[in-house]
Chains A and B, each alone.
Chain A
Amino acid sequence: MTQPPKHLELTQVDIDFPTPNGPFKALEDVNLTINKGEFVSLIGHSGCGKSTVLNIIAGLYQATKGGCLLDGKEVNAPGPERAVVFQNHSLLPWLTAYENVELAVKQVFGKSKSRSEMREWIEHNLSLVHMDHAMDKRPDEISGGMKQRVGIARALAMEPTVMLMDEPFGALDALTRAHLQDSLMEIQKDLNNTVIMITHDVDEAVLLSDRIVMMTNGPAASVGEILTIDLPRPRDRLALADDPTYNHYRHEVLKFLYEKQRTPDSPKAEKSTEKEKVAHKTPVIKSNSEDKAA
């Protein structure tokens, strides 16, 4: 079997955070390969280091050991080719939706696009997330879901190689969330860009992802299991609700989260190497460390 060209690769990533009681190891030996156009979810209990993984890919954190390669280049600083959709939208409150996207577009295309092209591009991206009607509103004048849409539009407008989403829908109500998930699936189908998303929501992970990366509990968290979701696209949430395969995947994730990784002091699944669908039931090792969530 020939190896596909590696798009994004994390190899043996360790990260230590300095604390007054010596360094705190948040991640240990994280290995992950992600293909172009893939939608990958990271799931795990709070404080297991999901965000840390995302921040390493974004370049906001530097791995203590190991590293991250994107298309063969080492990632060591943040950049617009790895756009981030932040958990709490992180729009600049003093700029309108249009201006928020404009700031990003000017940074990325300031030299390659003309004024009118930029204007068109900003409007295009805002209409992708159905926000073209509220372009001139400030963040405090629109709802939480709308802010998150603008955040997504800002990330999309940078034409990122990889889009990183840190619990993008975590703070939204169920209806808005479903709506945005559908939008995201549509956009991803059209643009076919790589997406890495952190989530707490099992349904969200199964519905959206090509693969789900399940992380073990911290400290020294790592990749526990990787589950490939082999469901045809486009996916319809209503039809899938009764789908046995869908429910099987859902069950797999729940089992990992609530049986193998139940509480910080519960038996911890043995770290598996980077193999896909390693649903092996190896004997568990006892981890008696405390959950010092980073």
Chain B
Amino acid sequence: MSNLIATLGLSAYFENPKTSFAQLGKSLLIPLIGLLVFLAMWEIGAKSIHTSLGVFPGPVAVYEQSINLINDHNAERKKEVAFYERQDKRNEKKLEKDPNAKIKVRPYTGKPTFFDQILTSLITVLTGFLIASMIAIPAGIIIGLNSTLYSAFNPLIQLFKPVSPLAWLPLVTMVVSAVYVSKDPLFAKSFITSLITVSLCSLWPTLLNTAVGVSSISKDLQNVSQVLRLNWFTHVMKIVLPSAIPMMFTGLRLSLGIAWMVLIAAEMLAQNPGLGKFVWDEFQNGSSSSLGRIMVAVLVIGLIGFLLDRCMLFLQRKVSWDKTAVLR
């Protein structure tokens, strides 16, 4: 018995509850050690890789570059503020001379910083994902409820699902430039192109998972619905949706993950503003700090992808009725 307790690592707890703090420390310490070992190996390994743009960036270089990127961003912001201040002063002077003078406010046209690019990418991915979900969830419910529709659409879904969205990109670009013609467009063409590409690829997992979730409602609950003679709307709201929510969220999380990965690639390929363009520009720039900056972008892309998934998980916890379900 005591052996068992010891192997479970509980002996310390039984002997002295205070040591549970030590256990907590242990649970933090081990990932920390793992991280440190990784960083050390990265630093050593990076030093031995020589490229035409210098040494491969290690953690130190990455840290330096991230500081640089923050400084760049702040400098750019200061420039912008100064630009508008100058402009305001000029305009005031003009008004003093002639109160009826026409005032032109020119927008600042500085180069977008790393953080501007992050924001652009985030807005694009979230909008694209939202549009895709707004199409995929209702469509998935309808297809899932009707087996005839399901068999009609299933081959199409299966055909389009594995298509890399980058294959769509040229088509989307051409169609957008042909159709989206406006003198004063509300959104930039590049934004629309990225948006449609992201939507096209994040449609399928949600659609398919929702359809499967809806069509696999337990027979018992369907019988309940029949005995109660629930109408179609009540049936969907009270029985179909709640039982399909776990599958639906599986689809949504897959979609969002794919959307984020695709967006970066699409931005690189199509030179649309965003993180992908930042990476590509740095690559083309080819300065000694470029590789470090790209590495910062890589880490940030990973971090944002992770945070997006956590957000979906949080949302699922909020929406799902089954609080005991293990979500990972």
Enumerate chain A interface residues (CB-CB to B < 8 A): 58-60, 77-80, 82-84, 86, 88, 90, 92-95, 103-104, 107, 138, 140, 158
Taking A88-B220, A90-B220, A93-B322 as contacts, is the C-beta distance between A107 and B228 under 8 angstroms? yes
Q: Which residues of A contact B321 (CB under 8 A)?
A: 93-94, 138
Nearest chain A CB to B234's CB is how many angstroms away?
8
Nearest chain B CB to A143's CB is how many angstroms away?
16
User: B322 and A82: CB pair below 8 A?
Assistant: no
B residues 193-234 touching A (CB-CB < 8 Å): 220-221, 223-224, 226-230
Interface residues on B, range: 10 to 19
Q: Which residues of B contact A103 (CB under 8 A)?
A: 228, 230, 238
Nearest chain A CB to B225's CB is how many angstroms away?
9
7 A-B pairs with CB atoms under 8 Å apart are A86-B220, A90-B220, A93-B322, A94-B242, A94-B243, A107-B230, A138-B321
User: B227 and A92: CB pair below 8 A?
Assistant: no
Taking A92-B242, A140-B324 as contacts, is the C-beta distance between A80 and B221 under 8 angstroms? no
Q: Which residues of B contact A60 (CB under 8 A)?
A: 223, 226-227
Nearest chain B CB to A75's CB is how many angstroms away?
12
Contact of A80 (CB < 8 Å), options: B223, B228, B239, B324: B228
Enumerate chain B interface residues (CB-CB to A < 8 A): 220-221, 223-224, 226-230, 238-239, 242-243, 321-322, 324
Docked complex Cα distance between A85 and B220 (Å): 11
User: A80 and B227: CB pair below 8 A?
Assistant: yes
User: A92 and B220: CB pair below 8 A?
Assistant: no
Q: Which residues of B contact A58 (CB under 8 A)?
A: 223, 227
17 new A-B contacts at CB < 8 Å, known A80-B227, A86-B224: A58-B223, A60-B227, A80-B228, A84-B227, A90-B220, A90-B223, A92-B221, A92-B224, A92-B238, A92-B239, A92-B242, A94-B242, A103-B230, A103-B238, A107-B228, A107-B229, A107-B230
Kindly list the 5 A-B residue pairs having the minimum CB-CB distance in the complex, ordered from nearest. Answer: A94-B321, A90-B220, A94-B242, A78-B226, A78-B227
Q: Which residues of A contact B227 (CB under 8 A)?
A: 58, 60, 78-80, 82-84
Q: Which residues of B contact A78 (CB under 8 A)?
A: 223, 226-227, 229
Nearest chain B CB to A29's CB is how many angstroms away?
26
Number of A-B contacts (CB under 8 A): 52
Majority SS of interface residues in chain A?
A: loop
Instruction: Using CB atoms, name the residue of chain A closest to B320.
Output: A94
Q: Which residues of A contact B226 (CB under 8 A)?
A: 59-60, 77-78
Contact of B229 (CB < 8 Å), options: A80, A92, A93: A80
Name the residue in A94, A104, A140 with the highest tally of chain B Cβ atoms < 10 Å from its Cβ: A94
Q: Which residues of A contact B238 (CB under 8 A)?
A: 92, 95, 103
Nearest chain B CB to A2's CB is how many angstroms away?
34
Q: Which residues of B contact A82 (CB under 8 A)?
A: 227
Nearest chain B CB to A214's CB is how many angstroms away?
26
Instruction: Using CB atoms, name the residue of chain B closest to A99.
Output: B238
Docked complex Cα distance between A103 and B230 (Å): 9
Docked complex Cα distance between A93 and B239 (Å): 10
Instruction: Using CB atoms, name the residue of chain A closest to B220.
Output: A90
Q: Which residues of B contact A84 (CB under 8 A)?
A: 223-224, 227
Instruction: Using CB atoms, name the residue of chain A closest to B224.
Output: A90
Q: Which residues of A contact B221 (CB under 8 A)?
A: 90, 92
Q: Which residues of B contact A77 (CB under 8 A)?
A: 226
Q: Which residues of A contact B228 (CB under 8 A)?
A: 80, 103-104, 107, 158
